């Protein structure tokens, strides 16, 4: 029953993300068209050409994000690849560590781990979301610590991202995976809901524990031999 509920939540997230992406795309197209017109008309004026180029470049970047969200919401087929999870995480840490308030330590509970089948691009989004949340939570901590803990049981790879940041109040913890729920002033509230949907697509799950003033831990469980039922629709 719990698995059925998680799948239903993942499907609802996909529909909401698709609706949001479509609403954003229309004004972006107008902005891009107007910027391109100004860029072409005033190409001989260096300052205008420079700034319109920046605007167009940033709009293109936003459009690429929207395309990713739309592909995700349409149930795009997973591109599963055998993955050495330790090397994979080291690569992501190399990308996100700049500007991070602490060292991100990878702690192995065992000497070696079997390779796991995942869509590397989609799970990159999961970990970038989790590290982004940890970075924000650690801003209020004098001695910030962030850990990625690797473990496994007979059937599952177990990954935990833990920080000692400001934590999440108990009354809000059960809402954090709800689409568009956010405690951030500038957040959309879709990062964790998308992360949960990606885990569900892989036949896994993601959960969280937290205590105000003590930090948070996000736990991901992924089966070694995933039978993906929701890779496409």
The fold adopted by the segment(s) 80-223 is Heat Shock Protein 90 (3.30.565)
pLDDT of residue 25: 75
Please, are residues 220 and 149 in contact by the beta-carbon 8 Å criterion? no
Percent above pLDDT 90 for the chain:
32
Q: The pTM is what? A: 0.69
The position carrying tokens 């029953």 is 1
Pairing of strands 146-152, 104-108: parallel
The predicted-structure confidence for 32-73, as pLDDT tens digits, reads as follows: 888 888 888 887 888 888 888 888 888 887 877 676 666 655
**218 versus 140: which is more confidently predicted?**
218
Strand ranges for 62-204 from DSSP E? 80-83, 104-108, 116-119, 146-152, 156-163
The predicted-structure confidence for 154-188, as pLDDT tens digits, reads as follows: 899 999 999 999 988 888 888 888 877 676 655 66
């Amino acid at each position: 029953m719990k698995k059925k509920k998680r799948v239903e939540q993942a499907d609802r997230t996909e529909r909401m993300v698709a609706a949001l992406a479509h609403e954003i795309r229309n004004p972006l197209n107008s902005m891009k068209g107007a910027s391109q017109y100004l860029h072409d008309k005033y190409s001989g004026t260096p300052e205008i050409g420079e700034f319109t180029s920046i605007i167009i470049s940033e709009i293109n970047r936003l459009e690429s994000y929207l395309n990713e969200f739309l592909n995700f919401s349409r149930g795009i087929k997973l591109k599963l690849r055998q993955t050495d999870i330790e090397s994979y995480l080291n690569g992501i840490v190399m990308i996100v560590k700049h500007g991070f308030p602490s060292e991100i330590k990878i702690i192995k509970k065992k000497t070696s781990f079997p390779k796991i089948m995942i869509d590397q691009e989609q799970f990159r989004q999961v970990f970038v979301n989790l590290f982004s949340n940890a970075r924000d939570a650690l801003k209020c901590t004098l001695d910030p610590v962030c850990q990625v803990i690797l473990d496994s049981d007979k059937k599952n790879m177990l990954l935990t991202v833990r920080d000692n940041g400001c934590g999440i109040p108990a009354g809000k913890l059960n809402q954090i995976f709800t689409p568009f729920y956010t405690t951030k002033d500038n957040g959309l509230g879709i990062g964790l809901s998308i992360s949960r949907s990606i885990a569900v697509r892989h036949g896994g799950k993601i959960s969280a524990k937290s205590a105000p003033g003590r930090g948070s831990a996000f736990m991901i469980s992924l089966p070694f031999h995933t039978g993906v039922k929701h890779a496409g629709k």
